[in-house]
Amino acid sequence: MLRRWAGRHPRVLDGFLAALVVTLTLPVTLRGDAAPGVLMSGAGVTGAGWLLFAAVHLPLVWRRRAPVVVFWTVLGLVVVCVASQVTGVFLIFVPLFALYAVARHRPLRHLVPALAVLLLAIGSAWVGDDPGWQVLIGVTSVLALTALTGLTVQLRRTFQAERARRVREEFEHQARIAVAAERATLAREVHDIVAHNLAVMVALADAAATGTPTAADLAAKAATTGRAALAEMRTLVGLLRDGDDARTPQPGLDDLDTLIEQVRAAGLRVAVTYEGEPGTWTPGVGLAVYRIVQEALTNTMKHASPGASAQVRLRYTPAEIDLEVTDTGPARATGQGGHGLAGIRERAMAYGGEVAAGPAGAGWRVHARVPLAAG
């Protein structure tokens, strides 16, 4: 909470820091204490010198907004103080804070000249007063430590910001992938539902248009198919609106007979062969196999010639479902089938399966293998 408040009120925090520096340097200044040599002991602060004392501290209020300007302003005021015989520990203490701000908030190219000027000033004072190597090494070490601390904080903040940026980008990337996958899934479901039911309804309508005695029955079947399509579309729309809670049971292997009867009612002769004993499958595997059969038969109704027939073979093994759908033609170009064939492959691959589709004699063949355990 304190960090958020400081982020919203940086000037107030910097003003507080400037006041804190004054609090630290004022007692020593009032006592007139001054280290020899580099702090240039002398008259201390008297009379109008207190205005310079305040002026040296004041720029720290802007230390984060304009650290380079603040540093050189402070350094210029220090020179004025020295020229006016106003001396004290604050002449080193305040520039240290200004130097830290440059190291913390600005690139290295701004820090190097600032540090060089301070070292040159300390070296000149040491040569003039010769306070001893201990004082020179101590003050130089403090300067180096101040600069290194500022650089370390800057690098750590930069690293944290870069890591946060990468995490955010990765999250957005994963979100885009998830959205694309969900979009593809919904598009596949809509395609399977609409394409199959429309193909059945068109076949029924064509048969009814011939004026056969069963036209009323065919129209009734077309209406039933349309209502089933609307029900499935409502399920998808509910899923989009309300999430997983709106999901209703999806068709599966137990519904294949109903699907075959629906296709037969549309006029396509379909023979079904089951081999082996059904194992245990998940709803996802059952839905994938159902949709593969549905799409294969839909393509037959759309592309096969009148009077064509189809053969559906399901072979169950303990490990997988081997599915084959063939028709009597005519054979179609390999690229024919559009999104339907791509959807068949995607459904099988989602469960570790594989699909082969292409011409078979005078007709078309779709062969899929879907592992049971992968679901």
pLDDT (tens digit, 0 to 9) for every residue of the chain, 375 residues total? 555 655 565 667 777 777 777 777 777 666 654 444 444 444 466 677 788 888 888 888 888 888 899 999 999 988 888 888 777 778 888 888 899 899 998 888 888 888 888 888 777 766 656 556 676 777 788 888 888 988 898 899 888 888 878 887 887 777 777 767 766 666 666 666 666 666 666 666 666 666 555 666 666 666 666 666 666 666 666 655 555 544 456 788 888 988 888 888 877 889 999 998 877 788 888 888 988 998 888 888 888 777 788 999 999 988 899 999 999 877 665 554 456 787 788 888 888 889 998 888 888 899 999 998 654
Residue 313 region, left (φ>0) first, then alpha (ψ -120 to 50), else beta? Answer: beta
Euclidean distance between CA atoms 217 and 194, whole angstroms: 22
Ordered by start, the domain boundaries in the chain are 2-131, 253-375
pLDDT of residue 254: 87
Q: Specify the pTM.
A: 0.47
pLDDT of residue 308: 84
Sort strands 309-316 and 363-371 into parallel, antiparallel or unpaired: unpaired
- DSSP label at residue 318: S
Q: What's the Cα-to-Cα distance from 49 to each of 33, 176, 354, rounded to whole Å? A: 15, 65, 88
Burial of 241 (0-12, 13-18, 19+ CB in 10 A): exposed
Closest CA to 294 of 318, 267, 270: 270
**Could you tell me the two tokens for 138?**
């101590």
pLDDT of residue 64: 82
* Whether the Cβ atoms of residue 102 and residue 67 lie closer than 8 Å to each other: yes
Q: How many residues does the chain have?
A: 375
pLDDT of residue 249: 64
**What is the radius of gyration, based on Cα positions, of the chain?**
41
SS3 320: strand
Closest CA to 135 of 260, 35, 231: 35
* Whether the Cβ atoms of residue 258 and residue 250 lie closer than 8 Å to each other: no
First to last CA, the chain: 47
Q: What share of the chain is helix, strand, coil (3-state, %, to 5)?
A: 70, 10, 20
Give me the helices (H) in the chain, please: 2-8, 10-31, 49-57, 67-83, 90-105, 108-129, 133-209, 215-242, 256-265, 283-303, 338-349
Closest CA to 105 of 153, 138, 140: 153
The count of other CB atoms within 10 Å of the CB of residue 279 is 14
Q: Which residue has the tokens 């103080």?
A: 81
Query: Sign of dihedral through CA atoms 180, 182, 187, 192?
Result: positive
- DSSP label at residue 251: P
Closest CA to 355 of 327, 328, 320, 329: 320
Tell me which amino acid residue 198 is. Answer: L
Fold of 253-375: Heat Shock Protein 90 (3.30.565)
Give me the helices (H) in 210-282, please: 215-242, 256-265
Residue 221 C-alpha from the chain's centroid: 48
